[in-house]
Structure 1
Amino acid sequence: MTEKIEKKSDEFSSKDCKIEYIEKNDVESLKANAPTAPFVYSNEEKKVKRKIDRSFLPLVIAILFTQFIDKTSINTAAVMGLLEDTHITHDQFGIIGGIFYFGYLAFQIPNNYLVHRVQISKYMGLILVVWGVSFGCTSLATNFGVLAALRVILGFWEAVTYPCIFLLIAMFYRRHEQVFYISYMFLANAVATAFGGLIAFGIANMDGLNGISAWKYAYLIWGAITVSLGILTFFFLPDQPKSKWFRLTPEEEKIVDQRRLDNGTSTNTDFNINQIYEGLKDPRYYCFCALSFLCNLQNGSITVFSSQIIQEIGFTNLQAILLNIPNGASGAILISISFLLSKRFQELNFIGMGMTLVSLAGVLILGLVPSGAAKLIGIYLAYACTPIYILTQTNISNNVKGNSKKVFYTSSQLVFYCLGNFVGPTIMTSNQAPRYMGAMLGYAAANIICFVLFGYVRWSLVRSNRNRVHNTSCDTAGQSENSKDVVDDRTDVEDLTFIYRP
């Protein structure tokens, strides 16, 4: 029989140091499973949030838009004459697509060291300038070796962007807001796919102008844009919670302090090895790493090979470039659906499970449909691997607390992000074209495993919340009271008032 506890008062009793409920089991279930009530903003906080958005978002979206075009220009360049000018084969092209992530991976350790010791705006600005120059130099590549080396160097510099922006989002926004802003990051990628395809179509018509191939024009133009963006970032990117670019009043600075209590950021950026040990003991850490690797197997192949897959269906080079535009539109729709559902139901992992099914449908269509325009549907649905990655990173932002622990989780999943994006294109071998059956079945298996991992993560978070409600005591009440005045560096395990978001 369910244990009944008579409710004597709605107030916390300081005499017996207990919180009493009508029905203990029901309340535990409610706390662990029910969506949290929608947060109600004061008019003053709405104004603060608008100030942050106006100063932070436009520049960040421009950076991400440009980065994604830079990173995926190899995709459209393949149908603009790159393969012929550099004399590389289909399989070498797969290596070129994935080797970018060797550089991306190699710079993670120095980047994680530097990002806590230098001013992010100056750091990112300088890196963007160097990256723009490196990107422009790709137009000089004449063979596989030079192109591969330049792709590694490009990955080296682009490795800075995501970790820095993840940390800035965690610094500026409340936990329930972060899923939207991380989604905005990847919406910028989807928009870059769409508009980048349109721009690439225009550049493709420059082929032969002044004796220069169209793909070389693409690298020169976007390299110059990236350098210009680096200069703007150096001077104008906000990188502190009370940045001068927000133009906060003293009263608004107090609201920023309250927001930081919610997002769990700490003024203490000292490295804490104990937080790393705590993370290594957490099964969810390994789930996040696995999710990042598995969903990016397919992401790496689609972003590198989509133009060639479309071309192999029977479309011309220019048509293949144009048909990447609805690919970006599909990505924007899937990302929007995922974060709107997350907002509506206050859920992360159930939404992640749903997106794995959409992604699974996409790769099965690509593998099982022999030929024809119907395969385009597969490419567009396969973009659901991006919401899977967004929800993985949002899980970390929402459910990991402690500066060193959060950085460790984020940097670890980025390592597996790199590995997945490297391995994915290399298994799209020429002897499998045009259906790439082996690769598509591998991606299908990866989606099924992601479905199971999201389910486990949600179950684990709900169980942790139940245990916390069950163990509510005077100690946790004291913790909550003290934490109102201090932004501490306790982890989610140490802070017993921290409630996970499943």
Structure 2
Amino acid sequence: MRDIDADLYLEVGQYDLEELERERVVVLKKLDWIIMPIICFTYMIQFLDKLSLNYASAYTLIPDLGLQGQRYSWVAAIFNFGYLFWALPANYLIQRLPVAKYTGTMILIWSVLLCCHVAAKDYTGMLVLRFLLGMFEASISPAIMTIVSMFYTRSEQPLRMCIFLAFNGMATMVGALLGYGLGHAGSSALRSWQLIFLTIGLLNFVWGWVFLFVMPDSPSTARFLTHKQKVIAVHRIAENMIGVKTKQFQPKQALEAALDIKVHCAVMIGLGCGVINGGVSNFASALIRGYGFSGIYATLLQLPTGAFEFFLVPLCGLVASYFKDVRCAVLAVICLPPLGGLLGIRLTDLDHRWTLVGKYFRCTWLQYLVGAPVILCWNLLTSNIAGHTKRSTANGLWFVFYAAGNIAGANIFFARESPRYYSALAGLIACYAGIIVIAIFMRQYMWWENRSKDRKIRTAARTDDAVDEQAILEGFQDVTDKKNLHFRYCL
């Protein structure tokens, strides 16, 4: 199968290797100053979309549209039904179509849908809008994962992926301030919750055009790189052993993904993260109101959650980037603080409401660290799954299970248990414990696979240089990680 940028890799021989190495630094700086800001801002405004319902619920959204009881839970959950419905098709479209143009189009579509929330009149209208919004947002995370794998090496990916996911935390802070400010906006025409949807929707619409104009579809189409720098960009990521991208769908690779134990581990982590995210992102305001705070302060008190995520998640990426084979270990360890926070919520009386919302850096605020295991799991997929159809399938399955988890998470907060939600807390605690166990198992399984391949290579008496070059060439030929004997897993 022909890789879209294979010809650029073949041009490497025309340049002096020392010269290429010197130019690599310049190329990396260009990528960091152009690609990364676009990704970070895109992820921030996309997460604002998801949080918009949470912030709107702090005002009069629920009584205005008749969303009392489990109706609000279903409005929160229906987004994930749309996400689940489109997760696999989205990943295959990302493989087939120019990724930047496809993603920019999705941003424009969902921005219009978000603005349409202003016109919602009842429960049914909100269900339809939230389903469609989830459907069109199903592409954004796998698209960004694809873009990162096209421009960055495996060693560079953990830090940069954690940085862009940390902008979920920035979105939480911006959204909390926005919700607080719009809560004070006096308007006879629009209520506070309508202003929230309209403002975020218009912001997305403007950004969609910026994304379409600036973001390249691959290194070969990056207008900000010279031809020589494009060759270097492809040469840099060749060491990932997965090539850049092939557009052909291969059924055998899809089947291999469905049977791969690594993929099973990743999607189960995705399921657990989804349950946690589905509960926390939609019910943070409800939890804080249950602690005795008013609607406006229920949004303002979510500011520290974003700060935790924005500053701590990149630290996880920094550790995973600079220490070898610690990605699974970091994933497991970062689950411990929010697990402690949940135990704190479960065991603290309502009389200590400041302790419940974050005293001593625990409880509610700590729950937004769920972004760290999510992004580290994504990085394990982008680094350890070779074969473009296999990777598209694995990514699609991850997001299917993640969406299913979000549906479950939004519906284990039973209205009858307000404000303590004991069933939900038990479910979230079980998810964190499960993620820790699976991450440890996944690491040991990949370690065993690497050892098995090493033994086969030694039997064949191949040199390290020959092995590396063969791994790169097979990556450009769309060979899967299982079939590529020279491929090694990042632990």
Relative to the length of structure 2, the TM-score reads 0.90
* Pairing partner for 1:223 from 191, 196, 201: 201
Cα displacement string for residues 61-104 of structure 1 (whole angstroms, at most 9, x for unaligned residues): 22111111111111110112101211211321111111101111
Give distance in 2, aligned partners of 1:83 and 1:483: 56
Shift of 1:116: 2.6
Q: Call closer, same or farther: CA 1:249–1:155 in 2, change over 3 Å.
A: same
Contact 2:111 / 2:202 at 8 angstroms: preserved in 1?
yes
Instruction: In structure 1, list runs of 5 or more residues that go unmatched.
Output: 1-40
Of stretches 448-457 and 239-248 in structure 1, the one that deviates more from structure 2 is 239-248
Cα displacement string for residues 190-247 of structure 1 (whole angstroms, at most 9, x for unaligned residues): 11001211122111111x4134211111111111111111122222211111223332
Q: Call closer, same or farther: CA 1:121–1:484 in 2, change over 3 Å.
A: closer
| SS of equivalent residue, structure 1 residue 383 | helix
Aligned to 1:257: 234
| SS of equivalent residue, structure 1 residue 373 | helix
- Report the identity percentage: 27
Cα displacement string for residues 49-69 of structure 1 (whole angstroms, at most 9, x for unaligned residues): 111222212222221111111
Aligned to 1:388: 373
Contact 1:102 / 1:422 at 8 angstroms: preserved in 2?
yes
Q: Does 1:59 align with 2:38?
A: yes
Instruction: In structure 2, list runs of 5 or more residues that go unmatched.
Output: 1-19
Q: Call closer, same or farther: CA 1:266–1:61 in 2, change over 3 Å.
A: closer
Shift of 1:42: 4.1
Aligned to 1:492: 481
Q: Does 1:374 align with 2:370?
A: no
Aligned to 1:447: 432
Aligned to 1:360: 339
Aligned to 1:397: 382
Q: Which amino acid aligns with 2:236?
A: R
Q: Does 1:295 align with 2:284?
A: no
Contact 2:267 / 2:398 at 8 angstroms: preserved in 1?
yes
Give distance in 1, aligned partners of 2:261 and 2:97: 32
Cα displacement string for residues 426-451 of structure 1 (whole angstroms, at most 9, x for unaligned residues): 11011111111111011111111111
Count of aligned pairs between the two proteins: 460
Shift of 1:333: 2.9
Aligned to 1:19: none
Aligned to 2:14: none
Give distance in 2, aligned partners of 1:115 and 1:353: 30
Aligned to 1:12: none
Contact 2:80 / 2:404 at 8 angstroms: preserved in 1?
yes
Q: Does 1:141 align with 2:120?
A: yes
Please identify the structure whose Cα radius of gyration is greater.
1
Relative to the length of structure 1, the TM-score reads 0.88
Cα displacement string for residues 145-164 of structure 1 (whole angstroms, at most 9, x for unaligned residues): 11111111111111121111
Give distance in 1, aligned partners of 2:473 and 2:131: 46
Q: Which amino acid aligns with 2:264?
A: Y
Contact 1:479 / 1:495 at 8 angstroms: preserved in 2?
no
Superposition pairs for residues 142-291 of structure 1, below 5 Å? Answer: 142-206=121-185, 208-250=186-228, 252-263=229-240, 264-291=242-269
Shift of 1:260: 2.6
* Pairing partner for 2:396 from 411, 425, 433: 411
Aligned to 1:48: 27
Cα displacement string for residues 397-436 of structure 1 (whole angstroms, at most 9, x for unaligned residues): 1111111111111111010110111110111011111111
Give distance in 1, aligned partners of 2:461 and 2:85: 44
Q: Which amino acid aligns with 1:93?
A: Y
Give distance in 1, aligned partners of 2:254 and 2:99: 23
Q: Give the RMSD, CA atoms, in angstroms.
A: 1.8
